Chains A and B, each alone.
Chain A
Amino acid sequence: MAFEGLSSKLQNVFKKLGGKGKLSEKEVREAMREVKLALLEADVNFAVVKNFVNKVTERAVGSEVLESLTPAQQVIKIVNEELTALMGGTGSKIEFGSKSPSVILLAGLQGAGKTTMAGKLAGYLSKQYGKSPMLVACDIYRPAAIDQLKVVGSKVGVPVFERGQADPVETAKLGVEEARRQLKDLVIIDTAGRLHIDEGMMDEIAAIRDAVQPAEILLTIDAMTGQDAVNVAKAFNEKLELTGVIVTKLDGDTRGGAALSVKAVTGKPIKFSGTGEKLTDIEPFHPDRMASRILGMGDMLTLIEKAQSAFDEKKAVELEAKLRNDEFTLEDFLDQFEQMKNMGSMQDIMGMIPGMDASKLGNIEIDEKQVARTQAIIKSMTPKERRKPDILNASRRRRIARGSGTTIQEVNRLINQFEATRKMMRQFTGKGKKGGKKGKRRFPFGF
């Protein structure tokens, strides 16, 4: 039962109860048990879950089931809306304050990803907001933390101010002065990871804050954090009066309930998320998408957006025309692979589809190397072969296998796959169903 999606569980509940019309109290209670379990499995804090479930129950009992929805969908709709509201509704922007340089202070536990995030923020804010940032290294405890920040800084082309193991409070102050002297308009301060119950260390970061008066005090928190997230967030918020939160490592397969817990106990918006190992893997946080991720309902919005930006409109139109004329070739096949690659890794994409949960993903082999091999095979064909795959005889296939460093079996498999796709697409374009709108699909790969 571990990771069965919430939607299917709720559907089961209502199948049993067969609810129609108004949602009865009995049905809602039964459904809420499933909601509660789903949230706990997603690591949302126990107390937060309790409050949330009470609130949703109140709203759901007696509510009319909309014409177009099943009772299960109705409950999910309410849960999703309340969850989104709790997560903070729409996204929240970064504030730079009125002083220059603006100062951003990063705080958090050890290993949350502050140093990497400092580099990502510097790169992102210079690109998106035209800022000219400077990084200040105030982690004097972890061995080589300063070196790490320097490497990260040079990768994003941002200078790093450091004074070795000297007093971090003084370093922060001098860093801001140095930034002003160099006409920088943004200072990002990386601090040492610290436990929220370590009074000495908490006093230190409070002193740094007092010395530099940051426009943003951001708590960096690992998306995989469990129930303890509330204790951490509460302590940092009480000591520092946070202005916001950054959630890191969201590219994992965690449901990320910690994000909700942190938002609920601090009331502070989540402003950014870290979504990968590269220094460009940073995104503004989308509360609505996080809500459906926590519920295990996938992240359809992101998928749709990604698809829109990655798929070239014109190419899509061309492809449609080709399909209709039955001219789909291996070249188009290759094109599709490349466009798919622009959307991010296969796993990213699969993870965003509702109903695709982690456990099922484990069974489907999504091998990115396989994609690369496929590309190699097609690229080892002559243009003529790509356009007219029918001419691929045994000798040509042998040559292609050698050229692409694969085997004939792999080449054969690819060609079969291509034929299958072509066949599937013919059905897609709705040949014979004249006037039907089916041909308008933008997704040639039947997801």
Chain B
Amino acid sequence: MEKKMGFFEKLKKSLSKAGNGMLGAIFAGGERVNNEFYEELEEAMIVADMGMDTAERLIDALRDSLDEKGIKTRTEARQELRRIVADEMRADSEFAADKGPAVLLIVGVNGVGKTTSIGKLAAYYISKGRQPMMAAADTFRAAAAEQLTVWAERSGVQIVKHGEGADPAAVVFDAAASFKARKRDILLCDTAGRLHNKKNLMSELEKIRRVLDRELPGVPVEALLVLDATTGQNAIIQARAFGESTGLTGVIITKLDGTAKGGMAVAIKNELGLPVRFIGVGEGIDDLRPFDADAFAEALI
């Protein structure tokens, strides 16, 4: 429990680095809720990368709720907004890997931290007494498999890899066989970073997904999009494109230890219904943790 608190403290600290809480200054800026307040709030939400549409929608929701409850002070408004965002961010379904064996297919554009996240996920599942293994299906980037191997050794999990330039679907095929034979319960699939507007690379992902579904029938696949917290409005387009080719079920937000707020996660949940499953707040092997909507809302607002 103590450690958990420490972690959320860390998240809060990092989310509020740019000032006294992302929106802290606004809530402290005066007593009454007035038009100026809403304007400042909208501005702050845009600066947090929530995007115009989401910011407007949240503010409408806040306005309605404040009117309804007769709330007039900014302090109370803050609590209300936290509640709204937390409700918004709560996942509507259970995470498959929490229930039993599952495949976590990790996808995303280049440089968001897919390989690192897999390294940390392996450590996380080991700590939970699970039996994870890795598939190094990024056969494109130079030394990607080596990078993942270092992580595999750190947490002592098995890794399936082929040489650079190999067919990633073949890596996944072998990994699936090994997963069955060794009776593991979490298969972590790394994939090469790819821009979502490259059709060929996206069909490669479709193929990987097909192999998983075919070779591991009955094992649910959680396809998770890794998003760098610094990403702007392009994140939504990414989520849409990756969703089409892999049937995304959730999101991992990395690098929340910088000054970026990760506000696009709110937009993605709102527009596409994709919940955040994990967040990364540091370089340490245990700095990737399950997402907590209340803690996130509190840290953000």
Question: Which residues in A have some Cβ–Cβ distance to B below 8 Å?
Answer: 2, 37, 40-43, 45-46, 109-113, 141-145, 147-148, 150-152, 155, 195-197, 222, 224-229, 231-232, 249, 251-255, 257-258, 277, 345, 347, 351, 358, 361-362, 366-369
B232 at the interface (CB under 8 A from A): yes
Besides the known contacts A37-B52, A253-B196, 10 further A-B residue pairs in the complex with CB atoms under 8 A apart: A41-B233, A43-B232, A111-B112, A143-B147, A143-B150, A224-B109, A224-B228, A226-B260, A229-B230, A249-B111
Q: Are B113 and A111 in contact (CB under 8 A)?
A: yes
Q: A152-B142, A226-B232, A228-B230 are in contact. Are A251 and B195 (CB under 8 A)?
A: yes
Q: Are A144 and B143 in contact (CB under 8 A)?
A: yes
Q: How far is the CA of A187 from the CA of B232 in the complex (A)?
A: 33
- Which of B150, B231, B237, B257 is in CB contact (< 8 Å) with A195? B257
A-B contact pairs, 23 of them (CB 8 A): A40-B52, A43-B234, A46-B46, A46-B47, A109-B230, A110-B111, A111-B228, A111-B255, A143-B147, A147-B143, A196-B259, A197-B17, A224-B232, A227-B49, A228-B261, A232-B230, A252-B197, A257-B232, A345-B198, A347-B197, A347-B198, A351-B197, A358-B197
Q: How far is the CB of A367 from chain B (nearest CB, A)?
A: 6
Q: How far is the CA of A249 from the CA of B196 in the complex (A)?
A: 11
Q: Are A148 and B141 in contact (CB under 8 A)?
A: yes
Q: Chain A residue with minimal CB distance to B44?
A: A46
Q: How far is the CB of B264 from chain A (nearest CB, A)?
A: 7
Q: What is the interface of chain B mostly: helix, strand, loop, or mixed?
A: loop
Q: How far is the CB of B232 from chain A (nearest CB, A)?
A: 3
**B105-142 interface (Cβ within 8 A of A):** 109-113, 116, 119, 140-142
Q: Which residues of A contact B229 (CB under 8 A)?
A: 228
**B17-62 interface (Cβ within 8 A of A):** 17-18, 43, 46-49, 51-53
Can you list the 10 inter-chain pairs with the closest CB atoms, starting with the nearest? A226-B232, A111-B111, A43-B232, A151-B142, A143-B150, A147-B143, A144-B147, A228-B260, A144-B146, A148-B143
Q: How far is the CA of A362 from the CA of B199 in the complex (A)?
A: 10
Q: How far is the CA of A385 from the CA of B177 in the complex (A)?
A: 49
Q: Are A42 and B233 in contact (CB under 8 A)?
A: yes
- Which of A111, A144, A255, A345 is in CB contact (< 8 Å) with B150? A144
B151 at the interface (CB under 8 A from A): yes
Q: How far is the CA of A153 from the CA of B150 in the complex (A)?
A: 21
B220 at the interface (CB under 8 A from A): no
Q: Which residues of A contact B119 (CB under 8 A)?
A: 143
B93 at the interface (CB under 8 A from A): no
Q: How far is the CB of B229 from chain A (nearest CB, A)?
A: 8
Contact-residue bracket for chain B? 35 or more
Q: Chain B residue with minimal CB distance to A226?
A: B232
- Which of A197, A226, A254 is in CB contact (< 8 Å) with B49? A226
Q: How far is the CB of A399 from chain B (nearest CB, A)?
A: 29
Q: Are B51 and A41 in contact (CB under 8 A)?
A: yes
Q: Which residues of A contact B140 (CB under 8 A)?
A: 277
Q: Which residues of A contact B43 (CB under 8 A)?
A: 46
Q: Are B228 and A222 in contact (CB under 8 A)?
A: yes
Q: How far is the CA of A43 from the CA of B47 in the complex (A)?
A: 9
B247 at the interface (CB under 8 A from A): no
Q: Chain B residue with minimal CB distance to A43?
A: B232
Q: How far is the CB of A348 from chain B (nearest CB, A)?
A: 9
Q: Are A347 and B199 in contact (CB under 8 A)?
A: yes
Q: Which residues of B contact A251 (CB under 8 A)?
A: 195, 197-198
Q: Which residues of B contact A257 (CB under 8 A)?
A: 232
Q: Which residues of B contact A147 (CB under 8 A)?
A: 142-143, 146-147
Q: Which residues of A contact B258 (CB under 8 A)?
A: 109, 195-197, 228, 232
- Which of B233, B234, B259 is in CB contact (< 8 Å) with A232? B259
Q: Are A227 and B46 in contact (CB under 8 A)?
A: yes
Q: Are A368 and B200 in contact (CB under 8 A)?
A: yes
Q: How far is the CA of A358 from the CA of B113 in the complex (A)?
A: 25
Q: Are B110 and A113 in contact (CB under 8 A)?
A: yes
Q: How far is the CA of A345 from the CA of B201 in the complex (A)?
A: 13
Q: How far is the CA of A143 from the CA of B150 in the complex (A)?
A: 6
Q: Chain A residue with minimal CB distance to B257?
A: A195
Q: Chain A residue with minimal CB distance to B201?
A: A277
Q: How far is the CA of A367 from the CA of B198 in the complex (A)?
A: 10
Q: Are A231 and B151 in contact (CB under 8 A)?
A: no
